[in-house]
């Protein structure tokens, strides 16, 4: 018997939260319009009031973020803006949001919906002035270090909405120090885990929560002030809603809270119609997981394997402006921390859309309702096992999404929106992380966020800008060195634009930058690396080159103490040309680690050891041979391009100018470019011949085990995709590639148990599986 209908719910009008959400879902499904709103009455009858509400509320959440972030002590919140506040209607659908880490518009919404579906209303109860906290990736969070504070908003005793605030904390008490660690391979090592827990009432946090949470992480002071930042921001927004309701009336606010979502859905549809060309767009992303290396220490032998993660995608744009994104063929989740929940995967795509397709003030869950997703269950972005670790889901999120920029950009290009084209996003790494005892002799963890300022992909109109942004936060910033040195026992010996890190092209990708850090005033200190190394995780567009991939440089037992005392030359500035390194000749050779192993686990560092933090560039657009020769000279003069690539990649011959700067020799450049073009033709092979040769390799399985494993995993989860692969390469029907036949472990291949199989748990399904 369903007794709920007899109980008076807390939502305005008397519904329970569950009844309210069900009704909205039902009406949306029946009409194709959010909450069945075929007409938006408030907007139609009083457009001024509607616009005023929007502008006022939006400004309010923006201001709450700007103000609240000053409370924090963590530089990644205060300086990098790694926080976000969002206003939701009673059903947990977002109405509007501040800027910042906007992926959490979706993840906090998912947390609210989890509370709704699992009857938090009945137990533990939802009352005015309650405070809830969540960081659970199993129900939609990106990774455990993004902590959500969620506060319900009541009016005259009835719930009229929610406000959520999120900050990225520096440490969540995972196996290793830092927020996005590598050493664990299951979620039980991911750190402190909180599932929509009621942590406060009457606007006050419970003492048991404070005691437990503050000792569950390494960086307690950051944790405390981050929490206050979130709570204060939520309370500011709640106050604003109370004022707006008092001035404009609850009826207007209530209508607005639903109409705005439908307006957002329609807005996306209109933009798709205006900006794109209907059809199917296919693209793919890859990233390396090089775990067999000796510097990757994990607890389980079955995780000590080199694998490649794979995300093919098919984007279908229909003439009416609706669209569908299908990720069939993606790899299975793995024993590493790079898995993602479906909500974080789709919310991140929404974030990307806000940067290119719908950069308007009308950004809310409407766009999510306007997008159909299919993520096969069991893939890395929709895992089917509750042991899966998520601490650094970004490792592959960023490389999967870069493919979608390319898809959309082909469409923009076709419509002539050259300025909107973006060749893709940088792989936002390296992440400098680690911990131990810091300069204040306290237990500490560090998580540099310099890589919020990577190179941007080129457009079809101009170069991408350098050291500027991150896919997860367009308002990127590298922060001041003096602030990072407050937070990290590491002094800077260099901060420099990273030459040749942006992809070459007619318009080149923006370059990243690099920071050389010397350990200083640390005790029992560890650090590790994180990012792509063996694989270029973006592609470049229409002849543009991908950005350079990553590498690591660390040096121990450097002898720098003596060299500094003696006034000898020491490494400083950038590692400008890694093929002809300067640093290495100035320090003890034996302690240097310079290789493509861009992912490691905690290693010990002592004072005077070195660590290079290299932020990646963005991909390029168009054939480099079409780039203005003078622009190539500027690139070399400005430190954006290593000189030898001017000739090799761009075909530009440089000579010395009067003022010591390089200038292009136009005649010699023209000749060189003609040679390169001739050379290209000479090397070219008819596609048919090339395919025949490749087909032989496929039939013979003539490729590395990690590549075979990647395909085998995709075939297993994506039968349709496997069939297309066979058809494309004209392979026999019985041709197959199975993980069990490979000489590496594929632990977890056949047995899995999802969160939904736990007693009394109702998971919320957001995508087609």
Pick the closer one to other proteins by CB: 331 or 466. Answer: 466
Of residues 207 through 226, those in contact with other proteins by CB under 8 A are 221, 224-225
Nearer to other proteins, 335 or 583 (CB): 583
Task: By CB under 8 A, name the one of 23, 33, 56, 273 that touches other proteins.
Answer: 56
Residue number, 485 or 724, with CB nearest to other proteins: 485
Contact 473, 456 (CB under 8 A): no
SS3 640: coil
Task: Look at strands 490-497 and 83-88 and give their pairing.
Answer: unpaired
Rounded distance, CA 603 to CA 601, Å? 6
β-pairing verdict for 443-447 and 83-88: unpaired
Using CB under 8 A, which of 235, 410, 534, 616 touches other proteins?
Answer: 235
CB of 78 to other proteins, least distance (A): 5
The DSSP element (H or E) to which 323 belongs, if any, is strand 323-326
Instruction: Examine residue 420 and tell whether it contacts other proteins (CB under 8 A).
Output: yes
Strand partners, 146: 168
User: Nearer Cβ to other proteins, position 480 or 757?
Assistant: 480
Are 512 and 616 spatial neighbours (Cβ–Cβ below 8 Å)?
Answer: yes
Q: Which is nearer to other proteins, 459 or 713 (CB)?
A: 459
Assigned token pair, 227:
């929490």
Q: How far is the CB of 660 from other proteins (least distance, A)?
A: 8
Give SS3 for 459. Answer: coil
- From the list 68-76, 170-178, 340-348, 754-762, the region that binds other proteins by CB under 8 A is 68-76
Report the 3 state secondary structure along 1-39: CCCHHHCCCCECCCCCHHHHHHHHHHHHHHHCCHHHCCC
Tell me 202's DSSP state: T
Smallest gap from residue 59 Cβ to other proteins (A): 3
Site for other proteins in 29-48 (CB under 8 A): 48
Q: How far is the CB of 90 from other proteins (least distance, A)?
A: 23
Considering the rule CB under 8 A, would residue 246 count as an interface residue with other proteins? no
Q: Answer for the pair 495, 481: CB distance below 8 angstroms, yes or no.
A: yes
Query: How big is the site for other proteins, counted in residues (CB under 8 A)?
Result: 88
Q: Is 453 in the site for other proteins (CB under 8 A)?
A: yes
Buried b (16+ CB within 10 A) or exposed e, 22-59: bebeebbeeeebbbbbeebebbeeeeebbebbbeebbe
Burial tier of 387 (Cβ tally within 10 Å: 0-12, 13-18, 19+): middle
Looking at the DSSP bridge assignments, the partners of residue 307 are 289
User: Which residue bears the tokens 């609240």?
Assistant: 68
Beta-carbon neighbour count of residue 769 at 10 Å?
14
Kind and range of the H or E run holding 285: strand 279-290
**Strand pairing class (523-528; 654-656):** unpaired
Binding other proteins by CB under 8 A: which of 19, 179, 229, 600? 229
Residues 568-607 that bind other proteins (CB under 8 A): 570, 572-574
Q: Copy the structure tokens of residue 710.
A: 């990647």
- Binding part of the chain for other proteins, among 159-167, 280-288, 348-356, 584-592 by CB under 8 A, reads 348-356
Closest CA to 533 of 303, 295, 311: 295
Contact pick of 468, 530, 664, 712 for other proteins (by CB under 8 A)? 468
Residue 317: its H or E element = strand 306-317
| Residue 590, SS3 per DSSP | helix
> Applying CB under 8 A, does 270 fall inside the site for other proteins?
no
The tokens describing 568, both together, are 């000898």
State which residue, 659 or 733, has the beta carbon closest to other proteins.
Answer: 659
Nearer to other proteins, 483 or 753 (CB): 483
Among 359, 657, 704, 719, binds other proteins (CB under 8 A): 359
Nearer to other proteins, 474 or 629 (CB): 474
Among 422, 428, 430, 746, binds other proteins (CB under 8 A): 422
Going by C-alpha positions, the residue among 237, 92, 101, 86 that lies closest to residue 169 is 101
Contact predicate 707/739, CB 8 Å:
no
122 DSSP 8-state letter: I
- Report DSSP letters for 93-111, one per residue: -EEEE-SSSTTHHHHHHHH
145 binds other proteins (CB under 8 A): no
Q: Which of residues 741-760 bind other proteins (CB under 8 A)?
A: none
Q: Is 671 in the site for other proteins (CB under 8 A)?
A: no
The nearer residue to other proteins, 4 or 637, going by C-beta atoms, is: 637
Smallest distance from the beta carbon of 746 to other proteins, in angstroms?
Answer: 39
* Minimum gap (Å) between residue 570 Cβ and other proteins: 8
Tokens of 549: 């991939």
State both tokens at 630: 């003078």
Residue numbers 488-547 binding other proteins by CB under 8 A = 491-497, 513, 516, 518, 520-521
Q: Show the beta-strand stretches assigned E in 41-157.
A: 83-88, 94-97, 131-134, 146-155
* CB 419, min distance to other proteins, A: 6
Contact between residue 230 and residue 57 where contact means Cβ atoms under 8 Å apart: no
Rule CB under 8 A: choose which of 485, 584, 643, 724 binds other proteins: 485
Task: For residue 439, state whether it binds other proteins (rule: CB under 8 A).
Answer: yes
Q: Sign of the C-alpha dihedral, residues 12, 18, 22, 25?
A: positive
Whole-number minimum distance, CB 262 to other proteins, in Å?
20
Phi/psi region, residue 424 (left: phi>0; alpha: psi -120 to 50; beta: rest), is left
Strand partners, 491: 518
Query: In the complex, what is the shortest distance from the CB of residue 401 to other proteins, in angstroms, rounded to a whole number?
Result: 13
> Is residue 404 near other proteins by the rule CB under 8 A?
no
Q: Per rule CB under 8 A, is residue 423 in the interface with other proteins?
A: no
Please identify, among the stretches 164-172, 282-290, 310-318, 350-358, the one whose residues bind other proteins according to the rule CB under 8 A: 350-358
The 10 Å Cβ neighbour count of residue 739 is: 19
Beta strands in 498-637 (DSSP E): 513-519, 523-528, 552-555, 592-595, 603-605, 610-614
Q: Which is nearer to other proteins, 305 or 612 (CB)?
A: 612
**Stretch of 2-10, 234-242, 641-649, 669-677 lying at the interface with other proteins (CB under 8 A):** 234-242
Shortest spacing between CB 271 and other proteins, in angstroms: 12
**Token code pair at residue 583:** 């640093």
Is 255:300 a contact under the CB 8 Å cutoff?
no
Which of 118, 181, 467, 536 lies at the binding interface for other proteins (CB under 8 A)?
A: 467
Options 166-174, 250-258, 416-424, 628-636: segment touching other proteins (CB under 8 A): 416-424
Selected binder of other proteins within 482, 689, 734, 760 (CB under 8 A): 482
Comparing CB distances to other proteins, the nearer of 309 and 456 is 456
Stretch that binds other proteins, among 112-120, 478-486, 531-539, 746-754 (CB under 8 A): 478-486
- Binding span for other proteins by CB under 8 A among 55-63, 585-593, 671-679, 742-750: 55-63
State which of residues 107, 179, 331, 466 lies at the interface with other proteins (CB under 8 A): 466
Q: Nearer to other proteins by C-beta: 204 or 679?
A: 204
Q: How far is the CB of 475 from other proteins (least distance, A)?
A: 6
Kindly tell me which residue out of 59, 582, 691, 742 binds other proteins, with binding defined by CB under 8 A: 59
Token digits for 284? 């793919």
Which of 4, 195, 216, 355 forms a contact with other proteins (CB under 8 A)? 355
Task: Report the nearest approach of other proteins to the CB of residue 52 (Å).
Answer: 6
Least distance in angstroms from the C-beta of 389 to other proteins: 30
Q: Does 103 bind other proteins (CB under 8 A)?
A: no
Among residues 58, 197, 332, 552, which is the contact residue for other proteins, using CB under 8 A? 58
């Amino acid at each position: 018997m369903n007794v709920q209908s007899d109980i008076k719910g807390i939502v305005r009008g008397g519904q329970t939260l569950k009844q309210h959400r069900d009704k909205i879902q039902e009406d949306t499904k029946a009409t194709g319009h959010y909450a069945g709103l075929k007409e938006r009455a408030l907007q139609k009858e009083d457009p001024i009031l509607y616009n005023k509400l929007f502008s006022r509320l939006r400004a309010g959440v923006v201001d709450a973020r700007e103000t609240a972030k000053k409370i924090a002590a963590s530089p990644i919140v205060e300086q990098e803006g790694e926080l976000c506040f969002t206003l939701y209607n009673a059903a947990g659908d977002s109405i509007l949001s501040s800027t910042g880490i906007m992926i959490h518009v979706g993840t906090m919404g998912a947390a609210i919906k989890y509370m709704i579906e699992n009857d938090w209303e009945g137990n533990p109860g939802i009352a005015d002035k309650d405070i809830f906290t969540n960081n659970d990736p199993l129900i939609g969070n990106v990774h455990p270090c993004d902590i959500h504070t969620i506060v319900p908003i009541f009016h005259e005793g009835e719930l009229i909405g929610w406000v959520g605030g999120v900050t990225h904390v520096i440490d969540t008490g995972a196996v290793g120090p830092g927020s996005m660690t590598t050493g664990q391979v299951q979620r039980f090592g991911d750190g402190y885990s909180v599932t929509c827990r009621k942590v406060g009432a009457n606007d006050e946090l419970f003492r048991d929560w404070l005691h437990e949470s503050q000792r569950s992480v390494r960086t307690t002071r950051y944790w405390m002030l981050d929490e206050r930042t979130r709570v204060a921001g939520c309370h500011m927004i709640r106050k604003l809603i109370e004022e707006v309701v008092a001035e404009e009336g609850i009826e207007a606010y209530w209508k607005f809270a639903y109409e705005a979502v439908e307006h957002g859905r329609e807005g996306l549809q209109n933009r798709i119609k205006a900006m794109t060309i209907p059809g199917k767009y296919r693209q793919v992303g890859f990233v390396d997981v090089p775990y067999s290396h000796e510097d990757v220490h994990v607890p389980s032998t079955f995780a000590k394997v080199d694998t490649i993660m794979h995300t093919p995608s098919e984007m279908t744009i229909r003439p009416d402006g609706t669209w569908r994104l299908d990720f069939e063929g993606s790899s299975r989740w793995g024993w590493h921390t790079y898995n993602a929940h479906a909500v974080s995967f789709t919310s991140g795509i929404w974030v990307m859309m806000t940067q290119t397709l719908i950069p308007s003030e009308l950004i809310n869950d409407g766009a999510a309702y306007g997008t159909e997703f299919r993520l096969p269950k069991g893939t890395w972005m929709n895992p089917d096992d509750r042991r899966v670790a998520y601490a650094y889901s970004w490792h592959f999120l960023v490389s999967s999404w870069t493919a979608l920029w390319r898809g959309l950009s082909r469409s923009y290009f076709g419509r002539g929106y050259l300025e909107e084209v973006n060749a893709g996003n940088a792989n936002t790494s390296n992440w400098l992380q680690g911990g131990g005892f810091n300069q204040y002799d306290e237990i500490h963890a560090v998580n540099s966020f310099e890589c919020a300022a990577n190179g941007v992909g080129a457009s079809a109109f101009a170069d991408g800008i350098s050291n500027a942004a991150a896919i997860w936060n367009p308002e990127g910033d590298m922060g001041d060195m003096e602030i990072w040195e407050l937070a990290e026992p590491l002094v800077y010996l260099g901060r420099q634009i990273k030459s040749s890190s942006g992809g070459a092209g007619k318009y080149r990708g923006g370059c990243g930058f690099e920071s050389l850090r010397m350990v200083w005033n640390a005790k029992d200190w560890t650090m590790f690396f994180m990012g792509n190394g063996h694989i270029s995780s973006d592609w470049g567009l229409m002849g543009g080159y991908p950005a350079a991939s990553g590498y690591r440089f660390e040096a121990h037992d450097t002898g720098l103490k003596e060299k500094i005392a003696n006034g000898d030359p020491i490494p400083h500035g950038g590692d400008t040309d890694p093929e002809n390194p300067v640093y290495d000749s100035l320090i003890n050779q034996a302690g240097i680690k310079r290789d493509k192993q861009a992912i490691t686990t905690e290693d010990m560092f002592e004072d005077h050891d070195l660590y290079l933090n290299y932020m990646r560039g963005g991909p390029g657009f168009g054939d480099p041979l079409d780039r203005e020769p003078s622009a190539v000279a500027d690139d070399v003069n400005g430190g954006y391009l290593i000189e030898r690539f001017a000739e090799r990649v761009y075909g530009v011959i440089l000579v010395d100018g009067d003022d010591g700067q390089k200038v292009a020799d136009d005649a010699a450049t023209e000749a060189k470019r003609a040679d390169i073009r001739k050379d290209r033709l000479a090397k070219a092979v008819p596609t048919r011949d090339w395919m025949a040769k490749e087909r032989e390799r496929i039939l013979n399985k003539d490729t590395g085990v990690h590549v075979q494993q990647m395909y085998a995993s995709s075939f297993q989860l994506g039968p349709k995709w496997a069939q297309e692969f066979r058809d494309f390469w004209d392979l026999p029907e019985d041709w197959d590639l199975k993980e069990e036949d490979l000489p590496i472990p594929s632990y977890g291949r056949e047995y899995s148990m999802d969160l939904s199989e736990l007693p009394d748990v109702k998971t919320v399904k957001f995508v087609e599986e």
